[in-house]
Amino acid sequence: MRLLLPASLVVLLSCGMLLPLAAPAQTKPITTNTKARNLWEKAQAQAKDRDFTKAIETLTQLNQKFPSLGEPYLLKGSLLKAMGDNRPAFEAYRMGISKIPLDPTRASDYYALGELAMSFGEYATAADSYRKYLKTAPKSNRNGPRVQRQLLNCEFAQKAMAAPTGPQPERLGEPLNTFRFQYFPALTADSRFLLFTGRPAADSGEDLFISRFAKEGTIGAPVPISPAINTPYNEGAGTIAGDGKTLVFASCDRPNSVGNCDLYISRRTGNSWSKPQNLGRNVNSPEWDSQPTLSADGRTLYFTSTRRGGRGQEDIYVTTLGADGNWSPARNLGEPVNTSGKDMAPFIHASGTTLYYVTDGLVGMGGLDVYRCEQQAANKWSIPQNLGYPLNTFENEASLFISSDNRRGFCSRSRAAEAGVKQERDRPVELFSFEVPQAVRARETSTYTQGRVFDAITKKPIAADVQLYDLNTDELVQYVASDSENGEYTVVLNEGRQYAMYAAANKYLMKSLSFDYSDKRAFDPLTLDIYLEPVRSGRSIVLNNLFFDTNQFELKPKSRTELNRLIAFMKQYPDVQVEISGHTDDVGSDEDNLTLSQNRAKAVYSYLVGQGVKAPRLRFRGYGETKPLNPNDSDQHRQQNRRIEFRIL
């Protein structure tokens, strides 16, 4: 069974017989006391015979009867460490070192104590032990670079703990956290559904589960996501697109897989998930590929891979879904994201602007810490920043998720060590939630608009392409499809942006919608049903993304997005003829408004003709203030009356 439990939560412990045991640093007896010497020699013989339990019992007697002797504590610590009992090992090493003067022959013990202290967040003890190691170890020792790095980690951790970035994450209560292991939480953009990987028992395989949040904030019991997804193979480390309709997950050792663990994709229509498909060789490698995270529209995928050619043990890669429906060859994110260490568990925020991931390749709290970096330009990322304490601790951190509105975060953590649980990988893993501190939030906050797409005549739901453009850059930033069964769609919008959104389907007029979040107005989620008019004589649409200055008729540059959509429509339907009509509000004289509306309509006509649309297929006309959509009794209504329409002749 190849588990998908994040490697950040698994510590592989070497078998005891491969671990060096502490031995006397000198040949002379550790004491002249006969009873003490006899017990010491007895413990050494038991250790040599690999009877570690008996040896530890004998050493405990020595500790109790002759507490001033340091060597028995050190041998006891070595044996306990070999058995995987690290907390008692740490205590034994600490006691032993405290009783022995600085000794060059004890360099390995100083190093062992430093490593154990780091594993328990005992940074002062760790730093002291590492300094003693540097004083006593040969200058050419192989652990020197790591010790120097650990000293930097100690310094960083102590400062971070003195200045927490926010409150401690809180364990989620029932009905969650009822399994032995649950991890890799992910939310839909509307925060209605929580996806996570679960293993009900220690010997269970991994499956994907989903819980639904009610409007009042309570959460339902987790249920398996679908029998089409969960199988006797392990399915885990799932990610779900913002609209909840695209799922990517990792599964291991399936028939016809590319590597030992591959990424698979499934899409939801109505309430049914499709049969998962392997993402293929452009994405998967002969090695281990897992821990995916999808962009809000499900068209950009980041993931972890151990494939050859990376910078470290694990690296983060990215692939995008092309217009032809194929995923691009996966690309290593490179520096500064990937390091020479382990770079894992990426999470891309719904805004698409901020990437979170865990790494041990940067200075932090020790082990795997969570970092954030911001996208500065295409394929360029800022220097990663540590999230600080308490989101990072002395433990190995795992995946992190932050809601689209930047308010609530989720993570998974190992439960504190329990009696009888020695192996790190056997500790239960649970889901936690936290209020997102300002310094941890994504660069841009997101909201969403969602609703259903209908045929305007039959009122039946239809499958439509819903595309979102940034008007300032004319960049397509999201592309989703409404559900063919119920017409549902969800699109994520970022604060500080101005967008054009288009819903389009074959043989229908496109719907043009505009969202302006460039100032600090209300930024709440929107419910917006869309009705598409068939391409039929007499049907018309309002072009909401054509822009003019007041009393001017020159098209502003950000109108190009809409204009290019009109050109594409005219190419798609070469037999269609249209009227472009201009309309105004009632401010100003009738004559001026008629002239302004005529000139604005002509400006659109002239652009289309200039871009190759044949003039006989177009006509333009200004109607002034004679055909208002609403009474001219408010600023909002007047704005709606100032418009350009596109009507099929």
Give me the phi and psi of 604, to 5 degrees please.
-70, -45
- Same domain? 270 vs 400: yes
Task: State mean pLDDT over 114-138.
Answer: 96
- Same domain? 248 vs 360: yes
Task: State mean pLDDT over 449-464.
Answer: 96
Using alpha carbons, list the distances in angstroms from residue 224 to 204, 207, 232.
14, 7, 13
Q: Tell me whether residue 383 is in a domain.
A: yes
pLDDT of residue 26: 46
**Averaging pLDDT over each range in 1-5, 9-13, 239-243, which range is the top one?**
239-243
Task: State mean pLDDT over 32-39.
Answer: 90
Q: How many domains does the chain have?
A: 4
Give me the phi and psi of 435, to 5 degrees please.
-75, 130
Task: State mean pLDDT over 529-548.
Answer: 96
User: What's the CA gap between 236 and 263, in Å, rounded?
Assistant: 10
Q: Tell me whether residue 12 is in a domain.
A: yes
Task: State mean pLDDT over 365-389.
Answer: 94
For position 588, which CATH number holds? 3.30.1330.60
Residue 340, pLDDT > 70, answer yes
- Same domain? 418 vs 276: yes
- Same domain? 579 vs 468: no
- Same domain? 517 vs 554: no
Average pLDDT, the chain: 91
Identify the weakest region by mean pLDDT among 9-13, 129-133, 386-390, 401-405: 9-13
Residue 524, pLDDT > 50, answer yes
> Look-up: residue for tokens 């281990």?
288
pLDDT of residue 426: 73
User: What's the CA gap between 406 and 349, in Å, rounded?
Assistant: 9
Q: Tell me whether residue 335 is in a domain.
A: yes
What would the pLDDT profile of 296-326 be if each residue is shown by its tens digit?
999 999 999 999 999 989 999 999 999 899 9
- Same domain? 307 vs 242: yes
Q: Using a pLDDT cut of 90, give the percent of the chain over it.
A: 85
Identify the domain containing residue 607 by its residue range.
Answer: 538-649
Neighbours of 325 (CB within 10 A): 6
pLDDT of residue 24: 44
pLDDT of residue 16: 30
- Same domain? 561 vs 547: yes
For position 498, which CATH number holds? 2.60.40.1120
Q: Tell me whether residue 202 is in a domain.
A: yes
117: Cβ contacts below 8 Å, ≥ 6 apart: 90, 94, 123, 125, 126, 129
Residue 421, pLDDT > 70, answer no
For position 229, which CATH number holds? 2.120.10.30
Q: Using a pLDDT cut of 70, give the percent of the chain over it.
A: 94
